[in-house]
């Protein structure tokens, strides 16, 4: 890519996450020759834009880590040459006219609310785009199956599918390749990676963060739409997919799509979201030294939205390999500990010889997503009494990319590799899987439970006491 154009450049997402990721990527020497252009709705002067870049680039400009001397010089050049334009992307012809003055090929990054991004694309013309343009869209991709289909149809009129990057910054290269390497390079694991040996798979993204000034977005999304509908379903599909022939984007993304097509909340045909989903909302409490108000008292929250801050769904992959195995997807905010991992619980042994003492606990494999770790929980004959079983944890560090999550994603965009991008059909399938469940929540048929901020979640949930 020659130019990265960020739409929504004056927004919170750009300053807090996107620009620091861009800076790390450039400073590491992995994006030579790039130009950076910002456009936003705010009337910013060149000085205000430079001030934002200075703040966002500060860490990457510090020698050490992955920043190289040449990379730092390159980042300084990018900053000094970068420009900003006030732009209404929903005004007919405005975005197209702006792009005609940008050197291509262009990565056009929509750091905007989904509805604004969709409207901007609807009034764009294919002729407005420099040759080789790549469109980069932030999750969520649409707000329903129908809107995702409409967005995909709009994007298809502008560029080919492999030039569309639907980015989920949680789906970094480290996460994807660590799961695939663990599964497909170890016969011992892949041999038992099925419903005959596995009892359940839990994919959990709990965080102590609260709204962090994002109420305008989060209070309309909630934990289900923010994380489960996108990120956790994608991780589930990577955990459950069949072995691909290659690591090429077509082989990998097609196998991910096959898993999602087979997936439903609850076993196929059950049709009862209330039995296979839970939701809750935090009340006032303490997280570390911080006092957290009740969610409904948070600034910008509308109680009428009935928004959950913790959600859990049981998804079933209705195929031969995974029949009857629940994939429990959970995500929540304002919790007492950060827990970002997939936990594979294996079935108990058919028979434990009589005479062993101690607890016969299930074998469990934990795959951590930041830090990238691997832990295997086993029962062994511990020191002392040879007849007593003790629990041990075998631990290993997994590979990780020193880039920030947005840097990993942008690396794929700028190198024209869509491997980490969500394909159009899978974006639609993710909505199809959960849409009926979200409708059941909205109707009030799944009760809204509560948990104090700083706790591990509702006491009645098995995943809160694990």
pTM (global) more than 0.85: yes
Instruction: Taking residues 112-122, report their average pLDDT.
Output: 89
Instruction: Taking residues 313-334, report their average pLDDT.
Output: 97
Residue 139 annotated as lining a ligand binding site = yes
Instruction: Taking residues 279-304, report their average pLDDT.
Output: 96
Looking at 191, 231, 351, 366, which residue is catalytic? 231
Residue 174 annotated as lining a ligand binding site = no
Residue 41 annotated as lining a ligand binding site = yes
Q: Is 153 helix (H, G, I), strand (E, B) or coil?
A: helix
* CA distances from residue 357 to 167, 351, 363, 392 in whole angstroms, order as listed: 50, 14, 17, 16
Question: Both tokens of residue 461?
Answer: 């949930």
Question: Both tokens of residue 379?
Answer: 């029962």
Q: Decide if pLDDT at 405 tops 80.
A: no
pLDDT in tens, 145-189: 999 999 999 999 999 999 999 988 777 778 888 999 999 999 999
Catalytic residue list contains 165: no
Q: Decide if pLDDT at 370 tops 90.
A: no
Amino acid 385: pLDDT: 79
pLDDT in tens, 438-449: 999 999 999 999
Query: What's the rounded Cα separation, in Å, for the pair 203 and 339?
Result: 10
Residue 294 annotated as lining a ligand binding site = no
In the block, residue with structure tokens 């969709």: 118
Residue 333 annotated as lining a ligand binding site = yes
Burial of 122 (0-12, 13-18, 19+ CB in 10 A): middle
Residue 88 annotated as lining a ligand binding site = yes
Listed in sequence order, the residues at least 6 apart from 129 whose beta carbon sits closer than 8 Å to its beta carbon are 99, 106, 108, 158, 159
- Greatest alpha-carbon pair distance for the chain in Å reads 80
Domains and CATH numbers, the chain: 3-167 (3.40.50.720), 173-403+423-464 (3.30.360.10)
Amino acid 1: pLDDT: 60
Question: Both tokens of residue 457?
Answer: 């979640």
Residue 207 annotated as lining a ligand binding site = yes
pLDDT in tens, 22-45: 999 999 999 999 999 999 999 999
Average pLDDT, the chain: 92
Q: Decide if pLDDT at 262 tops 90.
A: yes
């Amino acid at each position: 890519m020659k130019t990265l154009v960020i739409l929504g450049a004056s927004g919170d997402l750009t300053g807090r996450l996107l620009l620091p990721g861009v800076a790390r990527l450039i400073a590491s020497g992995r994006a030579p020759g790039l130009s950076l252009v910002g456009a936003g709705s705010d009337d910013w002067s060149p000085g205000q834009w430079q001030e934002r870049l200075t703040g966002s680039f500060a860490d990457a400009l510090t020698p050490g880590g992955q920043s190289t001397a040449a990379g730092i010089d390159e980042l300084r050049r990018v900053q000094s040459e970068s420009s900003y334009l006030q732009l209404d992307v929903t005004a007919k012809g405005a975005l197209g006219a702006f792009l005609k003055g940008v050197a291509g090929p262009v990565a056009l990054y929509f750091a905007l609310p989904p509805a604004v991004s969709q409207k901007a694309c609807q009034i764009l013309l294919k002729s407005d785009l420099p040759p080789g343009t790549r469109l980069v869209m932030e999750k969520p991709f649409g707000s329903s199956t129908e809107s995702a289909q409409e967005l995909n149809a709009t994007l298809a009129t502008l560029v080919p599918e492999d030039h569309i990057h639907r980015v989920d910054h949680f789906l970094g290269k480290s996460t994807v390749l660590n799961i695939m390497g663990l599964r497909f390079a170890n016969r011992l694991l892949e041999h038992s990676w099925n419903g005959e040996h596995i009892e359940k798979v839990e994919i959990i993204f709990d965080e102590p963060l609260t709204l962090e000034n994002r109420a305008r977005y989060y209070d309309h999304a909630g934990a289900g739409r923010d994380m489960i509908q996108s990120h956790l379903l994608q991780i589930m599909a990577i955990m459950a997919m069949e072995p691909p022939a290659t690591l090429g984007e077509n082989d990998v993304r097609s196998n991910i799509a096959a898993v999602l097509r087979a997936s439903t909340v609850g076993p196929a045909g059950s049709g009862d979201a209330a039995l296979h989903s839970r939701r809750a909302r935090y009340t006032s409490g303490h997280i570390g030294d911080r006092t957290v108000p009740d969610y409904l008292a948070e600034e910008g929250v509308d109680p009428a939205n009935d928004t959950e801050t913790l959600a859990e769904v049981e998804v079933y992959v209705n195929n031969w390999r995974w029949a009857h195995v629940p994939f429990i997807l959970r995500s929540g905010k304002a919790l007492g500990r950060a827990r970002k991992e997939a936990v594979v619980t294996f079935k108990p042994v058919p028979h434990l010889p009589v005479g062993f003492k101690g607890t016969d606990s299930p074998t469990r494999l934990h795959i951590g997503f930041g830090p990238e770790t691997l832990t295997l929980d086993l029962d062994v004959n511990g020191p002392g009494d040879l007849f007593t079983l003790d629990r041990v944890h075998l631990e290993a560090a997994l590979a990780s990319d020193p880039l920030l999550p947005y840097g990993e994603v942008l690396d794929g965009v700028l190198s024209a590799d869509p491997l980490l991008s969500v394909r159009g059909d899978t974006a639609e399938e993710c909505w199809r899987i959960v849409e009926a469940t979200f409708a059941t929540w909205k109707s009030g048929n799944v009760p809204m439970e509560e948990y104090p901020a700083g706790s591990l979640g509702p006491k009645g949930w098995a995943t809160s006491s694990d």
